[in-house]
Amino acid sequence: MSETDNTDDLFKLVIDKSSLKNTVYNNTFESFNMLKDVVDNLAKDFDSYRKTVKSNFVTTLEAKHIGKFEIDLKFGGDVLLFMMHTNVFEFSRDHEIMRTPYIKEDKTRSYCGIINIYNFIADSFKYNRVNDIGYLIGRIFINKEKHYFIEGKRELGFLYNNFGKNTLDKDSMSSIIEAAIKYTVNFDLLTPHYDMVKFVTVNDIKSTLDSISVKTGKRLGYKFQADVDG
């Protein structure tokens, strides 16, 4: 093989990999924009529901866009933060997805974009408690064929397990968001262990409530990963 042939192979590799990642990125960004539309519509539907039932409850469901790659959904005392990563990822060789016939048939199908779903306590943002803890409750992986699967907790973790057939559309995206809300509603704030909070510094006490540095999290002091049922 001549030096020219080697160079051609190199250039082809660069072009092919760049094209693959660009396709995955575009699919992920398109899916994220669809997610934002679904979240916005859900917030509008909730507002209409509140007006229809004419209830005295003060709970709202509010969507807030934070740039191109993040949208927040606040309801009750919680915030769901949906964030698209701008990079494309490959799975490690020992990941179970790499052993599926779908990936073995075409390894480039394993390159995915990611949309992360985090749960935070709403007061963490309201009072600027920068030390509070949030939790990754799910992440959506999207490949070049716009097929997807989800790694997540409970409701999110078991809904979607057929990577080669699942295609993201508005109905499936609505199901994902609804599952995330249901999980969050049932993921309660637990009292931290006494030994975790029995000491407090003078600085903590002198700080205002808005910036108090004592950490708060739904499972602070507990092993979140021990949620083996989800």
Give yes or no for residue 209 having a pLDDT over 50. Answer: no
Cα–Cα distance measured from residue 160 to residue 141, given in angstroms and rounded to the nearest whole number:
11
Contacts 24+ apart (CB under 8 A), 162-171: 163/97, 163/100, 163/102, 163/103, 164/100, 164/101, 164/102, 164/109, 168/31, 168/34, 168/140, 168/142, 169/34, 170/34, 170/37, 170/38
Name the more confident of 148 and 219: 148
Mean pLDDT of 89-103: 90
| CB of 203 closer than 8 Å to CB of 213 | yes
Q: Where are the domains of the chain?
A: 3-188
Mean pLDDT of 134-140: 90
Mean pLDDT of the chain: 82
Name the more confident of 146 and 133: 146
Share of the chain above pLDDT 70, in %: 73
Q: How far lies 25's CA from each of 1, 30, 32, 84, 152, in Å?
A: 34, 8, 10, 10, 21
pLDDT of residue 203: 61
pLDDT of residue 199: 64
Give yes or no for residue 97 having a pLDDT over 80. Answer: yes
Q: Which of 128-142, 157-171, 185-199 has the lowest average pLDDT?
A: 185-199
Name the more confident of 48 and 221: 48
pLDDT of residue 132: 79
3-state secondary structure 150-177: EEECCCCCCCCCCCCCCECCHHHHHHHH
Q: Give the tens place of pLDDT for each residue, 49-66.
A: 888 876 666 678 999 999
Mean pLDDT of 26-44: 97
pLDDT band at 217 (very low <50, low <70, confident <90, very high): low
What is the pTM for the complete model shown?
0.80
pLDDT of residue 226: 41
Name the more confident of 140 and 209: 140
Strands 61-65 and 113-121: unpaired
pLDDT of residue 125: 85
Edge-to-edge strand order for the sheet containing 148-152?
Answer: 61-65, 70-75, 78-84, 113-121, 135-142, 148-152
